[in-house]
Chain A
Amino acid sequence: MELTREEESALKGEQGETMQMAYRILVATGEATDAEKLIPIEWAHLSGVNYNTIGDAGEELLSSISKDARVTVKTTLNPMGFDIDNVSNYNLDENFISKQLSIRNSYETMGVIPSFSCIPYEIFDIPKNGTQVAFAESNAAIHANSYDNLKTNKESAFSALASAIIGKSPYSSLRKEDTPNITIQMKVKNPNELTYGMLGFYAGKIGDTSVNISGLGEMDQRQCKAMCGGMGTSGTCAKFNFGEGDSNTEKIDFDEKEMQNVHDELNTSEKGDLITLGSPQLGLDEISDLTTKLKGRSFQKRCMVFLPRTVKEQAQKIGYITELERAGCEILADCCTCLTPLISKDDVDAVTTNSIKGAFYLKNSNGVDVNLKSLTQIVEDETR
């Protein structure tokens, strides 16, 4: 990778240790992705916020670099471990809470907007077509590249942080015009969001950096998010190109059999002790739809609903939150199903969810069994 004289000097440590670390990360990233140079970005979205995932090492690292590191572009933030408004209802120890607040404080000190959301594409204005950004959250990177006409690598927590500090990112393949060599043909009839989540999970396993995808039909926001979340979970692929692709691409069907394979991999229980909705977090449209679906009905077991704080505030004004709480929902802002410390296998055997991304991490990280159902099915089976 070619560096300018100023970039070389920063890499040698002539602009301080923090800049040196940031450049070392971008150089490793650039070498990994065959980038020939660094280019300016306008927006960074950081992962690595939840104390449950970054642990003491992450908390200490952030506390240390926040002493002198400052972000130089608009920078937003992934969910943390809990909602401070109701954390006392959950069995979290003091250490977790204080370490999480330290992480929050470090990011705020660096100048990061404390959005605590994995759906920045839904709660912030989208910049003009073709804008270069650096999104670490995998579902957000895929959504930005596929639906929002933005350009990002599937950044790591570190490359996005380094990009936020330097204001540049490696000019890697996903930032250029790319032509995928695989086309996935959607063959499953009457898909719901769960089907699209499984399609995304399947695509992420076989795609490299991007895939063509055909046969999708009209999709709502919930289904688009499910597909992006599924793909981000299973692989390195970070873009859907919609269409058949040219005649040279390898055509692969996603049919009932392939769908059953994904289902069998992630669905390990026939029922759940509690329900989670949101991974990715729910946006205002989904909250509105959920409120409609729950009219006159109540959950018969716990149902955790995860959403960004800005969406919670809007939903409160409209009256959705009162309605959802009446139906038995626990409303949680600033956090998400994915890697939540609020669900422990000590208290819970199995969780029902419509999220493929949530299912993967509940199973592998929380160590609980998962029961997969579409939202419509959840409402039908679990409410009265």
Chain B
Amino acid sequence: MNKILVSGKVEGIVLKSNDPINFLGTVDKKTGVISDKNHPLFEKPIKDTILVFPSGVGSSVGAYTIYSIKSNNAAPLAMICKKVDLTVATGCALANIPLITISDEEFLSIKNGIKMSLDTDSSTLSVHQ
């Protein structure tokens, strides 16, 4: 774990993307489903997952999308990035979604579909066997 942007403690299933996410326009703000045909997570819901992706990209209004997704109970439990952009950081800060960054090695080691737990107080990120 490199940085803790928003603290919290969660446990859930990883949904991983190797491509960045542009929250504005590519994530449905009511359902939390990825609506961009060119995105590897197309048609996947991000609700109640631990969403692992390299970084957010695109318009700053994407922060409101994160807040909307949370208000509509369609948000991830936590987000984990390699690099944090301002849209994701502030969207998560307002919506109170735990957000951390990790190293390239840690990113590579996390596989889609595994169960993980995150606790920022003790700085632990672990895989359930």
What is A's interface to B at a CB cutoff of 8 Å? 21, 24-25, 27-29, 31-33, 47-48, 50, 53-58, 60-61, 136-138, 153-160, 162, 232-236, 265, 338-339, 360-361, 364-365
In the assembled complex, which residues on chain A have CB atoms less than 8 Å from the CB atom of B6? 28
B5 in contact with A158 (CB, 8 Å): no
Q: List 13 A-B contacts (CB under 8 A).
A: A28-B6, A29-B86, A29-B90, A32-B89, A50-B61, A53-B61, A54-B61, A156-B62, A157-B63, A158-B93, A233-B58, A233-B59, A364-B36
In the assembled complex, which residues on chain B have CB atoms less than 8 Å from the CB atom of A31? 3-5, 89
**Contact A47 B90, CB 8 Å, known A31-B5, A57-B71:** no
> What class of interface size applies to chain B in its complex with A?
35 or more
What is B's interface to A at a CB cutoff of 8 Å? 3-6, 22, 24-26, 29, 35-36, 38, 55-65, 67-68, 70-72, 83-87, 89-94, 99
In the assembled complex, which residues on chain A have CB atoms less than 8 Å from the CB atom of B60? 47-48, 136-138, 154-157, 160
Q: How far is the CA of A57 from the CA of B56 in the complex (A)?
A: 20
A57-B67, A156-B87 known; 7 other A-B pairs, CB under 8 Å? A28-B93, A31-B89, A47-B59, A58-B67, A138-B58, A235-B58, A339-B61
Q: How far is the CA of A29 from the CA of B55 in the complex (A)?
A: 14
In the assembled complex, which residues on chain B have CB atoms less than 8 Å from the CB atom of A233? 58-59
**Contact A32 B3, CB 8 Å, known A57-B71, A153-B86, A365-B24:** yes
In the assembled complex, which residues on chain B have CB atoms less than 8 Å from the CB atom of A57? 29, 64, 67-68, 70-72
Give the shortest distance, in Å, between B80 (CB) and chain A (any CB).
14
In the assembled complex, which residues on chain B have CB atoms less than 8 Å from the CB atom of A48? 60-61, 63-64
Residue picked from B5, B56, B60, B93, most chain A C-beta under 10 Å:
B60
